[in-house]
Structure formats: C-alpha cells, structure tokens
A = this chain, B = another copy of it.
Amino acid sequence: MIRINDHFLKLQASYLFADIAKRVEHFQASHPDKAIIRLGIGDVTHALPDACIRALHQAVDEMARDQSFRGYGPEQGYAFLREAIARHDFQSRGAEIEADEIFVSDGAKCDTGNIQELFATDIRVAVPDPVYPVYVDTNVMAGRTGIYRNGGYEGLVYLACTKDNGYVPRLPDAPVDLIYLCFPNNPTGAVITREQLQTWVDYARENKALILYDAAYEAFIRDDRLPRSIYEVPGAREVAVEFRSFSKTAGFTGTRCAYTVVPKACQAYGPDGRPVAVRDLWNRRHATKFNGVSYPVQRAAEAVYSPEGQRQVRELADGYLKNAAYVRQAFSDMGFDCVGGDHSPYVWIDGQRDSWAFFDLLLDKAGVVCTPGAGFGRCGQTHIRISGFNSFANVQTAMTRIQAALQ
C-alpha cells in the first residue's frame, strides 16, 4: 500500500497567499465594478528593464539557429552569470565569494524550501516570528516539527521580532542548529546592522550552527553602513548560506531567476562529527534534482549587471521605495506604529486589532489588498504588511481610500 508522508497532514490549511487570493476573488465577484488595488503579495508591477528585454530577445535569436542553439546548460548556471554575480554582488563589496560558490536557480522560494533536505531531520530549527511561511512549511513536510498548536509548530524555535527588539531577534535561550534570518525582512521590512549580524555569526561559530540568510530584498538597502550580504561580516563564510533573487531587484517574479551562495568553507557535520562541505551536498542535490535555468533568462539576469542594467534596476527599486515611504508616512500620520519602508518595499503596520479583521476591513471598505500579519506567525497577530509594489498613483489612491475607511 502506497502510504503518504504523513507530516503533510500537520500543515495548516492552505498556503497564505492562496487564502488571500480566495478572499479577493470573492470580493471582486460581489463587487465587479470596484477597482481593487493590490498591495499584498509583494509582486512587482513594472516592466522588465530594457537591458533585460534586449538580452532576452538576443538569446531567443540564438535559440533559433542550430549553430548558436543551447541545450542543457550546467545545472549550477552558466559561468557568464556566476562570474558576474560573484564580481558585482560580492567582490565589489569586499565579500570573498567565488563564481563556483554561486548556484543559479529558478527562485529563492525553491532554494529556501529545498535547502533543508541537506540536514538531519532531528536538528533544532529556529525561524523568525513573523516568518516567511516557506521556511516553516518545508520543515514541517520534512518531519522536523510536531503538530500545530497555539499558533505555532511544536519543536520549532520561534525568534520573536517585535517593537521591543527593533524587529531584530535576540539570540535563542536554548541551543539551535539551523537558523533562518531574512534582512531586509519579509514581512517586517526591518534591517539588521553589521554589529547585530556579527552577533549571529559569532553565535553560529560558537554553537556549530548554520545560518540560512535570505537577502532577497538587499537591492532596497540605501544606507551603505548596512550589510547587503552576510559575507560582509567576518567569519560568515564558515557558517552561512545566502539566498538572493532577481525577482524584486529586477522585476523577475514572472521571469524566474535567483541564486544561492554556498561558500566552500561552509560546514555541517556527519554522524561521526566530522565536517562535511555544505557546498558539496548542495551541488549534489542541485545536479540530481534540477536542470538549470532557462538560457534566455540567464542572459537577462546577466544584463542586470551591465551599466545600463544597474541604472535601470536602481530606478525600479527607487520607485518602489518611494511608494513604501509614502505608505509608511500615511499610516504614521494616522497614529499607527510602523517599521520598514526605508530600506525595504514592505511596511509592517501594527493595526492594534486582529490582522484578518484589518485585512477584511481594508478590502471591504477601501478595495485595497494587504497581507494579514497572522499569516506570518504569532507576532503578526495584530499587524498587516503593505508593499510598495505598484504605481505611485495607485499607492496614493490606496492611501486616500484607506484614510477615508479608517476615519
């Protein structure tokens, strides 16, 4: 008899964004004339940068002729892209990362979801609270948690991110082995300083723990004192894996390209306590279960690093940041506690009421879609996340409607 992986049965209801989509669909069906403004899921809305469009067309033309056609590429990504990434995103900032430590993929969601496969099922896992649900759900599926109870899974260590600690978690009281960190944070938009990040790297080194550092939003950082990569912090190469994405940087949510950095020095431990290179495990997984990113898409990602590409993605991010700052200001003016929106496209707003109720209120009264904080964990119960991913005009309209709805 073919029996299922019964850890799947522990998963709570459906995936957060699917839930939201259902409510929005229902609202739209009953209000067909209402123009909904979506500031929820964190999906970009502006066209791809010209540099990427040109690179895509050119690569498609290559695929049209036998002589320049490309079949299977390296699973880890083409050297032209891995080298551009290593040079521009790391070496230029003094972070010692080589091209062969870069693994190109089709999404940071996939990578942050798949990475846990490399580790034992009985390790202790720490996640931020609020948390991007993928970190949690993939560990539930793999059997690293108990059942869901009181708003959390048993066996997981939740690191509270609240106003009290400036939305940067404190070190855990009990030892943990695998630590998910995300800065600029999704969903709060909070950032971490170099000194705070050093504390975590030191903790990981002392406890032989591993940090999974999700930096999918680093392109929004506008203060050069803030670290864009964990590898800007001394000692991180041995204890950290970093995730990056072109989704938010360059508008690739529908085009699909991301990458994961696994330094050769990064270690985990075998059953006999001997160190094993995490890079070798990830490389084996990548080569066995993945077949590389579409060639034209890799050329489009490469174009992000051209001078015009760099200028264009900077402009894109600046636009979304302007929107987020506007949202934050408007909510602050109404007396709400807010974080994010300065080095992040997200604003995290304490609504002082149940977050799904606040979600429904904004949808019903203002026709604006946000993301209810409860979907991200206990610490999000009274919060909502609003994203700057839209046009400035729509963001202005949304805030005018929200102001009217909340009066």
Contacts and interface: CB of A to CB of B under 8 A. Distances in A.
A292 interface: yes
Given A8-B284, A41-B72, A296-B56, A291 B2 contact: no
Given A1-B177, A64-B50, A288 B113 contact: yes
A110 B295 contact: no
Contact of A288 (B44, B138, B210): B138
Nearest to A53: B64
Nearest to A389: B71
A271 interface: yes
Q: How many chain copies does the complex carry? A: 2
B71 A60 contact: no
A43 B48 CA distance: 30
Given A53-B60, A60-B60, A285-B141, A208 B269 contact: no
A4 B289 contact: no
A18 interface: yes
Given A64-B53, A268-B4, A295-B255, A107 B69 contact: no
A45 B69 contact: yes
A70 interface: yes
A70 B43 CA distance: 10
Given A8-B118, A117-B5, A107 B290 contact: yes
Interface stretch (A119-127, A154-162, A302-310): A119-127
Nearest to A49: B64
A2 B177 contact: yes
15 contacts: A1-B269, A2-B208, A3-B123, A4-B269, A5-B118, A8-B118, A8-B284, A56-B56, A56-B60, A60-B60, A71-B253, A113-B289, A141-B288, A256-B292, A297-B297
